[in-house]
Amino acid sequence: MENKTDNFSVCIVGGSFDGARGKPSSLIDKIYARVESHGHIVQCFNGGDADALVPLLDVAGKHDVVFWFARVPNSYAKCVTDLKKRYPKVLLVTSKRNDNHKYSFGELVNRALGLKSNLVMEFYKFGNRFQGRVFDPLGCVWAHSEDFDNLTDAVLARIKELRTFTREGSMCLGGATEVPYRDDLGAFYEIIKSNAKTFHDLIHPADGVERFLGNASFRCERGFPSFRSQGDIYVSRRNVDKRFVGPDAFVQVELIEEGVGYYGGFKPSVDTPVQLRLYAHFPKIKYMLHAHTYIVGAPFTRRAISCGAVEEFDEIVGSVAKGIGYTFIALNLVGHGSIVLAADVEDLRGVKYYARNVPEKCF
């Protein structure tokens, strides 16, 4: 029986779009033919007037997947930045030409994060031939080839897997609640601040690139701490700089039928659905620290799962022995980062981190 994720609708926007009716791209024709050969429903726009791109956002937003490869002169606004704002559930694949490695991999990843791309197809000339690779905003590379049929196949395979991941929304349940005072929380804040500097030093943001303060990538790179107090769960809010974290950086959260409920004017970390389930599964755990670096000596999960996907809970639980009596767990999340769960705040101090090898090969 065919799974509902096997076939999906795709919109491809590529070629040159300018004030002179644009120019089609042979690469877009090739990608279109390959996607269609997999049995997907495809709508393709290959070259045209730049003024047509804004209306195309609404056309593209009706599809499950969008390949947005349009080349647009700098004198025109890059409207692709609005696509995920309007249609957050669309899976977005963008492209970047990178001849002579003009852009570092870090800059490419930061651009993908800014566009909220799910995948990127980078291509460049190698001698007289084009080569390319497919990567995601976590720095995982899913293909590297001079055969663009292979690259397109890799995009479609990863899209198919991404469509199996479960995302949960969030809902405000009321006004902000005050974080209760406990002596150990002061130590916890200091550990977060110290680790934030470590994570920053290990990740090495690209030269000349902003540190994404207020951006999901910055938050991911600094780690997502959370803790339980008096039976309530508090998770670090989005867009907070972990170097200066304190009680006001946390949001009270709980699982509700619609997904995640939170209190106050700030949404919690995208990983909240996973962490809430972990707290329920491991009742002795009081603290968690999730970073986009790896832990020295820790075991690895097997499957690369995107930030915030509920399936990561099953992957974490399946990677440790069964039982509910745990007081400390340190685990590397392959292609993603790491997570530490602890009952005693002091156990967080001895954890040693090292940088992920980015780009990280996942094929």
- Domain containing 43 equals 9-162
Do 224 and 291 lie in one domain? The reply is: yes
Q: Are 278 and 338 found together in one domain?
A: yes
Residue 117 shares a structural domain with residue 91: yes
Ordered alpha helix ranges (H), 9-87: 26-37, 53-60, 83-86
Same structural domain for residues 181 and 311? yes
Do residue 140 and residue 249 come from a single domain? no
Write down the residue that tokens 């349009």 correspond to: 70
- pLDDT, position 125: 86
Please give the Cα distance from 117 to 80 (Å, whole number).
10
Asked whether residue 296 falls in the same domain as residue 148, the answer is no
How confident is the model at residue 205, as a pLDDT? 55
CB 279 within 8 A of CB 273: no
293 and 325, same domain (yes or no): yes
The answer on 260 and 133 residing in a single domain is: no
Is residue 184 located within the same domain as residue 333?
yes
Q: 178 and 109, same structural domain?
A: no
Do 343 and 219 belong to one domain? yes
Average pLDDT on 132-141 reads 96
What pLDDT is stored for residue 220 in this prediction? 31
The CATH number of whichever domain residue 345 belongs to comes to: 3.40.225.10
What is the pTM assigned to this prediction? 0.89
Q: Looking at 162, 182, 199, which one is the last position of a domain?
A: 162
Domain count, the chain: 2
How many angstroms separate the CA atoms of 159 and 144, rounded? 16
Question: Tell me: the pLDDT tens digits for 155-173?
Answer: 999 999 999 999 999 999 9
Can you point out the beta strands (E) in 82-139?
Answer: 91-97, 119-126, 129-135
Separation of alpha carbons 355 and 31, rounded Å: 35
Please, are residues 14 and 27 in contact by the beta-carbon 8 Å criterion? Answer: yes
Residue 213 backbone phi and psi in degrees, to 5: -60, 130
What per-residue confidence (pLDDT) applies to 249? 85
Q: Please say if the pLDDT value at position 213 is more than 50.
A: no
